[in-house]
C-alpha cells in the first residue's frame, strides 16, 4: 500500500477514526501528526466502541504499530489513562506505541489558561474543548514549551518549569486573580508521569526514516479538519495546528514524496462544534433530524454538534489545499431519513454570488448558501457494502459531489461499524 494521509476536510468529526481503522488492515504503521486530546476518534468493531484521543486509531488492530509524532501536543495523564482503557479492553500498547521526544507537553496551566481565556472572551468564545490546546501550541511557537524528552531529564525539567512558572503565575495570579502553581508540587506531578511514559518516548524521526526507507506502509491520521486549520480555516474559530496536508510533513517529519494517497474525509452533510460561522447550518427540524440520526454529540466533550447541509464551496477549497487524490464520504446512511437533500454550490455575499472561500471572516459570516436540491432515497443505504447496491438517487448525489469537487469518491461509509463500508 502507498503511504496514505487521512485528513478531515470539514470542521472535524468527519469519521476519520472509522476510515483509519478500516484502512489500517493494509498498513504497518499509523501515525498521528498534529492536534492533541481535543480529538475524539470513534472506532466501532462488531458493535464494540473505542474512542481514541491521542493514540492513533490503528492501535485497535493487533499487530499494527503506532507513532505520536512531533507535531502532536501530549497531555501525559490523559495518555496514561487512554493506555489503561485500551489495556482493560485487551489491547496491549507497550512495544506498539512510540511517542516523539520532540512532541510538546500540555501542562496543567495550559488547561487552566484555556478555560480562563475562553471566559474572558465572553460572547466571542471559540468554544474550545478546554484541553489546553491553544496555550500549549502558543508556548511551542514562543519557544517556552516543555517537550516529552524533558520528562526524562529531571534537572532540565525543573529549570524549564521554574522559567515557565514565572510568567504563568504572573498571568494566572495577577491578571486572572486565580491560584498559581507551586514549583515543587508541579515538578513532582510531572515526574510522576515520567515513570509510566519513559518506555514510549523516543526519537521517532529516525524510526520513521527507517520505516520509509524500508518501504513499510504508513497511514497518517489527521485530527480536526481543514476548516479548523490555523492558517486556512475560519480563524479565529479554529484549532491551533495545521490540520491540512502540510501538517503531515512538519508534524511527522517526512518529506512530501512519502505520501502519494491523500484521502479527504467528509460527511454527506456538515457538522461543527463550538463557535464561528457555518453558512449551511440548519436550525429547524431537518438539523435536529441530522443530529439525532447521526448521533451528533461530541466524542470528546459530549456537546451537541451543529448540523447543516453539505457545503461544497468549503469542501472544494479544502480539496485543493490538501491536494486530495480521493474523497471518502461518511454517514451517507444518516440521509436515509431525508425527503430531500440540499448541497451548497455557491455563496451569496452582500448580493454577489461567489464560489470562492472568503479569507475575511466578516464576509464569510455574511455568506448565504445557494443550494442545489436532490430527491431523497428514504431508508435504503444503511449497511450497504457495494456501490452497485446503492439506490440510484444516492449514486446521483455522490456523482454530483465528485464532479463538483473534481476528485473521485473512493470510499463511502454507510454505518459506523468497520464492515459498513463501500470501496469503489
Residues taking part in catalysis: 13, 41
For residue 299, the number of C-alpha atoms closer than 13 Å in the C-beta half-sphere is 24
Evaluate whether 364 touches 350 at the Cβ level (below 8 Å). Answer: no
- When asked if residue 413 is in the footprint of ligand GDP (CB under 6 A), the reply is yes
Residue choice 3, 13, 82, 221 for contact with Mg ion (CB under 5 A): 13
Contact stretch for Mg ion (CB under 5 A) within 2-10, 12-20, 70-78, 158-166: 12-20
Q: Which CB sits closer to ligand GDP, 161 or 310?
A: 310
CB of 132 to ligand IMO, least distance (A): 8
- 182-221 positions binding Mg ion, by CB under 5 A: none
- 28-47 positions binding Mg ion, by CB under 5 A: 40
Write out the three cell numbers for 325: 487524490
Cis peptide, bond prior to residue 236, ω within 30 of zero: yes
CA dist., res. 169 & res. 190, Å (int): 17
Residue 264: phi and psi, rounded to 5, are: -95, 125
Q: Which CB sits closer to ligand IMO, 304 or 376?
A: 304
CB of 195 to ligand IMO, least distance (A): 28
- When asked if residue 16 is in the footprint of ligand GDP (CB under 6 A), the reply is yes
Q: Which CB sits closer to ligand IMO, 34 or 414?
A: 34
Contact stretch for ligand GDP (CB under 6 A) within 61-69, 372-380, 398-406, 414-422: 414-422
Q: Which CB sits closer to ligand GDP, 157 or 244?
A: 244
Write out the three cell numbers for 355: 464560489
CA dist., res. 421 & res. 384, Å (int): 7
Residue choice 299, 310, 329, 394 for contact with Mg ion (CB under 5 A): 299
CB of 127 to ligand GDP, least distance (A): 16
Evaluate whether 110 touches 13 at the Cβ level (below 8 Å). Answer: no
Residue choice 44, 79, 133, 338 for contact with ligand GDP (CB under 6 A): 44
Residue 239 binds which one of ligand GDP, Mg ion, ligand IMO, none, with CB within 5 to 8 A depending on kind? ligand IMO
- When asked if residue 160 is in the footprint of ligand GDP (CB under 6 A), the reply is no
Residue closest to ligand IMO when measured from CB atoms: 274
Q: Which CB sits closer to ligand IMO, 4 or 300?
A: 300
- When asked if residue 264 is in the footprint of ligand GDP (CB under 6 A), the reply is no
Residue choice 14, 101, 139, 150 for contact with ligand GDP (CB under 6 A): 14
CB of 83 to ligand GDP, least distance (A): 19
CB of 137 to ligand IMO, least distance (A): 9
The total of other beta-carbon atoms located within 10 Å of residue 176's CB is 16
How many residues sit in the footprint of Mg ion (CB under 5 A)? 3
Q: Which CB sits closer to ligand IMO, 42 or 346?
A: 42
Q: Which CB sits closer to ligand IMO, 76 or 275?
A: 275
CA dist., res. 323 & res. 318, Å (int): 8
- When asked if residue 299 is in the footprint of ligand GDP (CB under 6 A), the reply is yes
Instruction: List, in sequence order, every residue forming a beta bridge with 342; answer none if it has no partner.
Output: 373
Residue 392, classified by CB atoms within 10 Å of its CB into exposed (0-12), middle (13-18) or buried (19+), is exposed
CA dist., res. 9 & res. 62, Å (int): 28
Q: Which CB sits closer to ligand IMO, 254 or 299?
A: 299
CB of 368 to Mg ion, least distance (A): 28
Residue 333 binds which one of Mg ion, ligand GDP, ligand IMO, none, with CB within 5 to 8 A depending on kind? ligand GDP
- When asked if residue 41 is in the footprint of ligand GDP (CB under 6 A), the reply is yes
Interface positions with Mg ion (CB under 5 A): 13, 40, 299
Interface positions with ligand GDP (CB under 6 A): 8, 12-18, 40-42, 44, 295, 299, 330-331, 333-334, 413-416
Amino acid at each position: 500500500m502507498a503511504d496514505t494521509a487521512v485528513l478531515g476536510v470539514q470542521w472535524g468529526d468527519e469519521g476519520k477514526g472509522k476510515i483509519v481503522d478500516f484502512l489500517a488492515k493494509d498498513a504497518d504503521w499509523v501515525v498521528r501528526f498534529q492536534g492533541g486530546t481535543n480529538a475524539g476518534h470513534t472506532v466501532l468493531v462488531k458493535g464494540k466502541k473505542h474512542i481514541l484521543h491521542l493514540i492513533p486509531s490503528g492501535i485497535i488492530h493487533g499487530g499494527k504499530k503506532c507513532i505520536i509524532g512531533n507535531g502532536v501536543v501530549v497531555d501525559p495523564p490523559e495518555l496514561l489513562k487512554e493506555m489503561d482503557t485500551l489495556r482493560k479492553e485487551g489491547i496491549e500498547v507497550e512495544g506498539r506505541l512510540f511517542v516523539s521526544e520532540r512532541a510538546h507537553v500540555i501542562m496543567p496551566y495550559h488547561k487552566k489558561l484555556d478555560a480562563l481565556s475562553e471566559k474572558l472572551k465572553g460572547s466571542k468564545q471559540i468554544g474550545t474543548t478546554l484541553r489546553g490546546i491553544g496555550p500549549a501550541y502558543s508556548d511551542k511557537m514562543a519557544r517556552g514549551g516543555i517537550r516529552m524528552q524533558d520528562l526524562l531529564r529531571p534537572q532540565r525539567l525543573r529549570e524549564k518549569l521554574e522559567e515557565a512558572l514565572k510568567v504563568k503565575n504572573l498571568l494566572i495570579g495577577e491578571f486572572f486573580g486565580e491560584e498559581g502553581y507551586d514549583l515543587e508540587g508541579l515538578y513532582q506531578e510531572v515526574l510522576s508521569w515520567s515513570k509510566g511514559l519513559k518506555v514510549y518516548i523516543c526519537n521517532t524521526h529516525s524510526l520513521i526514516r527507517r520505516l520509509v526507507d524500508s518501504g513499510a506502509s504508513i497511514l497518517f491520521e489527521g485530527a480536526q479538519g481543514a476548516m479548523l486549520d490555523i492558517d486556512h480555516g475560519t480563524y479565529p474559530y479554529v484549532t491551533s495546528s495545521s490540520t491540512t496536508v502540510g501538517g503531515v510533513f512538519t508534524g511527522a517529519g517526512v518529506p512530501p514524496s512519502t505520501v502519494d494517497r491523500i484521502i479527504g474525509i467528509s460527511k454527506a452533510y456538515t457538522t461543527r462544534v463550538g463557535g464561528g460561522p457555518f453558512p449551511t447550518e440548519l436550525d429547524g427540524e431537518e438539523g435536529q433530524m441530522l443530529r439525532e440520526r447521526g448521533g451528533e454529540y461530541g466524542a470528546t466533550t459530549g456537546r451537541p454538534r451543529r448540523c447543516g447541509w453539505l457545503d461544497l464551496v468549503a469542501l472544494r477549497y479544502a480539496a485543493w489545499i490538501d491536494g486530495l487524490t480521493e474523497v471518502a464520504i461518511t454517514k451517507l446512511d444518516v440521509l436515509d431519513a431525508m425527503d430531500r437533500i440540499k448541497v451548497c454550490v455557491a455563496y451569496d455575499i452582500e448580493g454577489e454570488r461567489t464560489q470562492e472561500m472568503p479569507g475575511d471572516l466578516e464576509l464569510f459570516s455574511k455568506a448565504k448558501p445557494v443550494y442545489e436540491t436532490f430527491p431523497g432515497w428514504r431508508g435504503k443505504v444503511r449497511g450497504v457494502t457495494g456501490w452497485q447496491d446503492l439506490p440510484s438517487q444516492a449514486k446521483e448525489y455522490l456523482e454530483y459531489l465528485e464532479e463538483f469537487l473534481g476528485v473521485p469518491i473512493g470510499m463511502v461509509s454507510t454505518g459506523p461499524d468497520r464492515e459498513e463500508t463501500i470501496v469503489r
